[in-house]
Amino acid sequence: MMNFLEIAQARQSCRNYDETREIEQEKLDAILHAAQLAPSACNGQPYHFTVCTGETAKAVEEATKGMGMNKFATQAPVAIVVSEMPYVKSAALGAKVKGNDYRSIDIGIAVAYLTAEATAQGLSTCILGWLDDVKIRKICELEYPARLVITLGHAKESDKLRTKKRKDLDELVSVK
């Protein structure tokens, strides 16, 4: 079993999925359970995950393409659409009083949990923010906005771990 630092080091955006391999249901269940456990403002969980497979996945993934973006997306056997749901009353009040977008923060945390667990399960992901909300809402029959699409699958064996290019800690952290 991987510890969290190993997961963080191993997780990368996959752009080269093995189209011949399906995702095992128990792995998908574990990934969704991890997202369910993510913390959120006032425990409101202002998001919904729509798991798309087969032709629905391909249609959603096609709706993430355009202007040269996300050409690889249709290789993934699963697309998870992350929709932004309304706030619970207490989080809505806090967002208004503090001028903070808690839903976006909560979606980010849940997606981090989801993608980390996918890595722990030996699967690969890519978080796509370039998408056609109107098309995806129609495809998935969604009432609320689609904010992200997560492609999910097994990476091809040739998709090796890339060196992470990150800022130095002294650029990211200050101690007062």
Average pLDDT of the segment spanning 81-103 = 95
pLDDT above 90 (res 56): yes
Q: Quick one: which of 84, 82, 172, 94 has its CA closest to 127? A: 82
pLDDT above 90 (res 168): yes
What is the residue whose two structure tokens read 């995702």?
23
- Residue 92: what residue type? A
- 132: enclosing H helix or E strand: none
Q: What is the mean pLDDT of the chain?
A: 97
- 5: enclosing H helix or E strand: helix 4-10
- Residue 115 in contact with residue 35, Cβ under 8 Å? no
Average pLDDT of the segment spanning 109-126 = 98
Residues 6+ apart with CB under 8 A from 159: 14, 15, 16, 124
pLDDT above 90 (res 53): yes
Average pLDDT of the segment spanning 8-30 = 97
Average pLDDT of the segment spanning 62-91 = 96
pLDDT above 90 (res 1): no
Model confidence band, residue 176 (pLDDT cutoffs 50, 70, 90) = very high
Average pLDDT of the segment spanning 16-36 = 97
- Residue 44 in contact with residue 91, Cβ under 8 Å? yes
Backbone angles phi, psi at 174, to 5 degrees: -130, 145
Express as a percent the part of the chain with pLDDT over 90.
99
pLDDT of residue 44: 96
pLDDT of residue 119: 98
DSSP character at residue 87:
P
Calpha distance 33→39 (Å, rounded): 12
Calpha distance 159→144 (Å, rounded): 35
